[in-house]
Structure 1
Amino acid sequence: MRSMRIEDYITDEISLKLIKKAEEFARNFFEREGTHGFSHVKRVFNLCMHIGKAEGADLEVLALAAFLHDVARPLEDKGIVEDHAKEGAKIAYRFLTSLKYSKVDEVVHAIEAHRFSRPPDPRTLEAKILSDADKLDAIGAIGVARVFMYSGEHGRDIEFSIKHFEEKILKLRYLMYTHTAKKLAEGRNKFVEEFIDRLVREIEGEL
Structure 2
Amino acid sequence: MSVVPFISRSASLNHLSRNQLLQPLRKYRGGKGDICCEVFGSGSRERRKMSTSMERVRKAEALVEKAMKGNDASHDAAHVWRVRDLALSLAAEEGLSSDPHSLEIVELAALLHDIGDYKYLRDPSEEKIVENFLEEEGVEENMKSKILSIIKGMGFKDEVTGKGNSEWFPEFGVVQDADRLDAIGAIGVARCFTFGGSRNRLLHDPAIPPRSDLTKGQYMNKEEQTTINHFHEKLLKLKDMMKTKAGQRRAERRHKFMEEFVKEFYDEWNGLS
Counterpart pick for 2:65 among 22, 27, 34: 27
* Inter-partner Cα distance in structure 2 for 1:180 and 1:126: 13
Deviation for aligned residue 1:135 = 1.2
- The corresponding residue for 2:55 is 17
* Inter-partner Cα distance in structure 2 for 1:99 and 1:158: 43
* Structure 1 residues 48 and 196: alpha-carbon distance in aligned structure 2, compared to 1, 3 A threshold: same
* Inter-partner Cα distance in structure 2 for 1:59 and 1:98: 20
8 A contact 1:22–1:68 mirrored in 2: yes
2:109 corresponds to 1:98: no
Deviation for aligned residue 1:149 = 0.6
8 A contact 1:41–1:67 mirrored in 2: yes
Question: TM-score if structure 2 supplies the norm length?
Answer: 0.66
Deviation for aligned residue 1:195 = 0.9
2:117 corresponds to 1:77: no
- The corresponding residue for 1:142 is 187
4+ residue runs of structure 1 moved beyond 4 angstroms? none
- The corresponding residue for 2:13 is 2
* Inter-partner Cα distance in structure 2 for 1:162 and 1:91: 33
- The corresponding residue for 1:126 is 171
1:150-181 Cα shifts (integer Å, max 9, x gaps): 12111222212222212211111111100000
Query: Which of structures 1 and 2 has the bigger CA Rg?
Result: 2
Deviation for aligned residue 1:127 = 1.2
Count, aligned residues? 200
1:56-107 Cα shifts (integer Å, max 9, x gaps): 232111001111111112x64246449x8xx3xx432321222222222221
* Inter-partner Cα distance in structure 2 for 1:168 and 1:18: 33
2:157 corresponds to 1:117: yes
8 A contact 2:134–2:144 mirrored in 1: yes
- The corresponding residue for 1:108 is 148
2:229 corresponds to 1:163: yes
* Structure 1 residues 79 and 95: alpha-carbon distance in aligned structure 2, compared to 1, 3 A threshold: closer
8 A contact 1:151–1:157 mirrored in 2: yes
Aligned residue identity for 2:13: R
CA-based RMSD of the aligned residues comes to 2.5
- The corresponding residue for 1:64 is 108
Question: TM-score if structure 1 supplies the norm length?
Answer: 0.86
Matches within 5 A, 1:191-206: 191-206=257-272
Segment of structure 1 superposing worse, 114-123 or 182-191: 114-123
SS in 1 for 2:157: coil
* Inter-partner Cα distance in structure 2 for 1:141 and 1:161: 15
Structure 1 unmatched runs, 5+: none
Structure 2 unmatched runs, 5+: 1-11, 31-49, 97-101, 205-225
* Inter-partner Cα distance in structure 2 for 1:171 and 1:69: 21
